Amino acid sequence: MSAGKKLLITEDWCKGCGICVEFCPTNVLEIKNGIVTVVDIDKCIKCGLCELRCPDYAIYLEEIENES
């Protein structure tokens, strides 16, 4: 399920275009100092719309390895 995913950001690749912020349905993201920043991770529903439309591959969801 979606609980097994983690939102990750590669800051060096972010050009601050704001596309992810605009398409995030739950307002998790903001552009701060020209770079995407997570402002409220609790609201993240792991929908992946940010990753789908990030032109710079700077934000994405990664599966978390099951520790058991």
Which residues of the chain form contacts with other proteins (CB under 8 A)? 8, 10, 12-13, 15-19, 21-23, 51-58, 60-62
Query: Least distance to other proteins from the beta carbon of 27, Å?
Result: 14
User: Quick one: 30 or 51, whose CB is closer to other proteins?
Assistant: 51
Query: Least distance to other proteins from the beta carbon of 58, Å?
Result: 8
What are the structure tokens assigned to 41, written together? 């991770």
Burial code (b: 16+ CB inside 10 Å, e: under 16) for 21-43 equals beebeeebbeeeeeebebeeeee
